[in-house]
């Protein structure tokens, strides 16, 4: 079962401390969110899972953490200065401003008036000044995607790691877009994080690598708990392809508000390395690039066996962290009616994503012996490095179970008087609610195995 509607998720996220509207006490900043104590854990767990699958589990991908502030030259040659815009329309009647595709039958989505301006391009990049003097020339952008600094670091990484084609560079980090109409909770926001891989391949081998990454990314999302029935692959039509793409497959997820893109996997051809290279005329570049007289590097690869030098093609799986969180929360959300007629809300998160891995609950809030034993157990389990372990000392076991069901904690341990005698405690499973008596050694073995 998934959530029935977005309101369930929004309310749970606020109530339990996953996600808050940014600057809320001053009325909020639209399209910007803050991630609370549980949100930051879920986000970190999702990003770690991606990083592990992209870098640690492979031998052909390196990591990068490049700057957010980006030289305008980078975003000129990437095409963003010219093309990264949405067509904007104003309603003369109610002064509403919206993307032209939101006008149905040429009418304002807010008031229904047909008195609209012609669409005009609105660039989505945030611009800022670098240094103390604002003379109009020393501006930079907050990056609209993490990809570009991967391309500009291509040579640095190639030279410092002795990688050969095919290989990839992966990065997770913030991206900023001044979306005309942010909305649908954290689905379309102005500040978000991307998990992007740029995988460099020999021209001619790009189609097979594209297919490889589409399948790989699809199964990774399934491993995060996304159900196959809500995740579909969509071949993007030629007319809808980005200026750099030869082919793109979008992974489309059935969010509570509708089916929309979770991740895109694009064949970016030799557009990016070709665009950012000097001496472009010395190489065969298949993509249409603008002449670059400002770069001081050739972003090429020389095959040591054939001695051939060429501009690699790029396959790019690009996923949004927030959209991933929304999909995962949606999948995990469950409401059950218990035998006693009461309702139980639970997040059936995969344990590796759960913000809290184990909750240790003393039976008596004020019993010094029980509480100090519980603290000891908490410390021991925390030492296993499995993620966050909490001491839940409310003195109300039922309430603690309800809370941890709702935030997706897979295991609760209750410490009682017997624990002091025989070093065992009650382990309660989130999904089945089954309880068993277990000692610390057995628990540690179970955790190490999982």
Contact stretch for ligand GAP (CB under 6 A) within 260-268, 295-303, 328-336, 390-398? 260-268
d(CA 195, CA 217): 12
Contact stretch for ligand GAP (CB under 6 A) within 53-61, 158-166, 187-195, 421-429? 187-195
- Paired tokens of 182: 């942010």
By the 8 A CB rule, do 84 and 124 touch?
A: yes
Contact stretch for ligand GAP (CB under 6 A) within 73-81, 233-241, 261-269, 305-313? 261-269
- Shortest Å distance, C-beta 132 to ligand GAP: 31
Q: Which is nearer to ligand GAP, 41 or 179 (CB)?
A: 179
Residues 6+ apart with CB under 8 A from 108: 91, 93, 94, 96, 98, 114, 115, 116
Q: Which is nearer to ligand GAP, 329 or 361 (CB)?
A: 329
- Shortest Å distance, C-beta 383 to ligand GAP: 36
- Interface with ligand GAP, residue 194, by CB under 6 A: yes
DSSP string spanning 111-157? T----BPPPEEEE---EEE-SS---SSSEEEE-SSSHHHHHHTHHHH
- Shortest Å distance, C-beta 234 to ligand GAP: 12
- Paired tokens of 193: 């994080």
Q: Which is nearer to ligand GAP, 188 or 276 (CB)?
A: 188
Q: Which is nearer to ligand GAP, 180 or 389 (CB)?
A: 180
- Interface with ligand GAP, residue 61, by CB under 6 A: no
Burial group, residue 407, by CB count within 10 angstroms (0-12, 13-18, 19+): buried
- Interface with ligand GAP, residue 405, by CB under 6 A: no
**Which of 38, 42, 75, 147 touches ligand GAP by CB under 6 A?**
147
Q: Which is nearer to ligand GAP, 177 or 246 (CB)?
A: 177
**Which of 70, 318, 393, 419 touches ligand GAP by CB under 6 A?**
318
Look at the block and give the residue holding tokens 């690869």: 301
Strand partners, 88: 99, 120
Taking Cα atoms as reference points, which of 355, 346, 390 lies closest to residue 12? 346
- Shortest Å distance, C-beta 195 to ligand GAP: 9
- Paired tokens of 3: 């959530």
- Shortest Å distance, C-beta 289 to ligand GAP: 17
- Shortest Å distance, C-beta 309 to ligand GAP: 26
Contact stretch for ligand GAP (CB under 6 A) within 17-25, 190-198, 328-336, 360-368? 190-198
- Interface with ligand GAP, residue 196, by CB under 6 A: yes
d(CA 265, CA 94): 39
- Interface with ligand GAP, residue 145, by CB under 6 A: yes
Look at the block and give the residue holding tokens 């793409």: 245
- Interface with ligand GAP, residue 254, by CB under 6 A: no
Q: Residue-wise over 243-274: b if at least 16 C-beta within 10 A, else e?
A: ebbbbbbbbbbbbbeeebbbbbbbbbbbbbbb
- Shortest Å distance, C-beta 98 to ligand GAP: 15
Measured on CA atoms in the order 264, 265, 270, 274, is the torsion positive or negative? positive
- Paired tokens of 221: 């999302």
d(CA 195, CA 203): 24
**Which of 264, 312, 317, 362 touches ligand GAP by CB under 6 A?**
264
Measured at CB, which residue is nearest to ligand GAP? 320
**Contacts made by residues 216-220, CB under 8 angstroms, sequence distance 24+:** 216/317, 217/251, 217/263, 217/265, 217/317, 217/319, 218/251, 220/50, 220/53
Contact stretch for ligand GAP (CB under 6 A) within 6-14, 210-218, 312-320, 422-430? 312-320
- Paired tokens of 358: 């184990």
Chain positions contacting ligand GAP, by CB under 6 A: 145, 147, 177, 179, 188-189, 192, 194, 196, 261-264, 316, 318-320, 322-323
């Amino acid at each position: 079962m998934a959530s029935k509607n977005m309101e369930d998720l929004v309310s749970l996220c606020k109530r339990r401390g996953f996600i808050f509207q940014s600057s809320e006490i001053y009325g909020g900043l639209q399209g910007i969110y803050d991630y609370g104590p549980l949100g930051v854990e879920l986000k970190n767990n999702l990003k770690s899972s991606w990083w592990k699958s992209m870098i640690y589990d492979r031998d052909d991908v390196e990591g990068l953490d490049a700057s957010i502030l980006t030289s305008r030259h980078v975003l000129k040659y990437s095409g963003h200065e010219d093309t990264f815009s949405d067509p904007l329309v104003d309603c003369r009647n109610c002064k509403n401003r919206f993307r032209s595709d939101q006008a149905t039958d040429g009418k304002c989505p807010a008031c229904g008036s047909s008195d609209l301006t012609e669409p005009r391009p609105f660039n989505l990049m945030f611009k800022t000044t670098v240094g103390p003097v604002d003379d109009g020339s020393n501006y930079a952008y907050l990056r609209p995607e993490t990809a570009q600094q991967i391309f500009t670091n291509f040579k640095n990484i190639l030279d410092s790691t002795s990688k050969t084609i095919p290989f990839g560079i992966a990065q997770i980090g913030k991206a900023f877009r001044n979306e005309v109409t942010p909305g649908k909770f954290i689905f379309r926001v102005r500040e978000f994080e991307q998990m992007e891989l740029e995988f460099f391949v020999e021209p001619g081998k790009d189609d097979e690598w594209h297919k490889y990454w589409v399948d790989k990314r699809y199964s990774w999302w399934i491993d995060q708990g996304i159900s196959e029935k809500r995740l579909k692959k969509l071949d993007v039509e030629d007319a809808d392809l980005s200026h750099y793409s030869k082919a793109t497959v979008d992974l489309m997820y059935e969010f509570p508000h509708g089916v929309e893109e979770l991740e895109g996997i694009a064949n970016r051809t030799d557009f990016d390395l070709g665009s950012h290279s000097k001496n472009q005329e010395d190489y065969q570049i298949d993509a249409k690039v603008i002449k670059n007289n400002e770069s001081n590097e050739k972003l090429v690869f020389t095959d040591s066996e054939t001695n051939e030098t060429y501009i690699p093609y790029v396959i790019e799986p690009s996923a949004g962290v927030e959209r991933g969180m929304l999909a995962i929360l949606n999948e995990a959300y469950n409401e059950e009616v218990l035998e006693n007629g009461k309702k139980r809300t639970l997040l059936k998160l995969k344990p590796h994503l759960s913000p809290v891995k184990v909750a240790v609950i003393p039976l008596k809030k004020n019993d010094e012996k029980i509480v100090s034993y519980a603290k000891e157990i908490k410390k021991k389990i925390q030492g296993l490095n499995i993620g966050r372990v909490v001491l839940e000392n409310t003195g109300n076991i039922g309430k603690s179970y309800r809370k941890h069901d709702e935030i997706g904690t897979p295991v609760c341990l209750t410490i009682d008087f017997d624990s002091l005698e025989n070093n065992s405690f009650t382990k309660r499973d989130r999904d089945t609610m089954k309880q068993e008596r277990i000692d610390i050694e057995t628990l540690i073995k179970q955790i190490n195995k999982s």
